[in-house]
Amino acid sequence: MKLSELIIDYRQKMNISQREFSRKCDLSNTYISFIENEKNPKTGRPLIPNLEQYKKLADGMDISVQRLFELLDDDAPVDLGASSSEPVPDDQPKNDDIRLLIRGLNKLSPEQIEQAKNVMKAMFTQYADYFDTEKENEK
């Protein structure tokens, strides 16, 4: 089974959104979306998780990393060269401020996320349509 299929299947069985799953894994919602879609839409290339990210995905599914790899196809790719505490997809700014914000958001409760979104909507009113579109894409 492909990683994308495994995650989608898990989320459907548990009846949770990408955002909820990303919180369980302590990974960004964008990153989970890229894995499920099997590519980064900006580069067209698949995201290849490193061992730390596989561990977070396994933890999010309440299984061991060993069990995760048993469920995956034998040729599941692993990035052995990368190790970071916060994955940042290719289309995201790669600076410490953004990483700090993502890390902070991943630790918020759903209610706190809603509050943060409301603050961001107020700050970036010209981009409010983006937030509504993102919410529709989660469904």
- Closest by CA to 31, choosing from 119, 111, 92, is 92
Write the CB contacts of 110 (distance below 8 Å, at least 6 apart in sequence): 23
Share of the chain above pLDDT 70, in %: 71
Q: What is the pLDDT of residue 32?
A: 94
The b/e string for 9-31 (b: 16+ C-beta within 10 A; e otherwise) is ebbeeeeeebbbbbbbbbbbbbb
CB count within 10 Å of CB 53 equals 23
Q: Which domains does the chain have, with CATH numbers?
A: 3-107 (1.10.260.40)
Q: What does the longest C-alpha to C-alpha distance in the chain come to?
A: 48
The tokens describing 99, both together, are 């990483």
Q: In this predicted model, what pLDDT tens digit does every residue of 15-38 receive, in sequence order?
A: 999 999 999 999 999 999 999 998
CA distance 95 to 74: 35
Q: Return per-residue pLDDT of the chain as tens, 139 residues.
A: 999 999 999 999 999 999 999 999 999 999 999 999 988 888 888 888 888 899 999 999 999 988 999 999 877 888 776 444 444 454 444 556 666 677 777 777 888 878 877 777 676 665 555 555 555 555 5
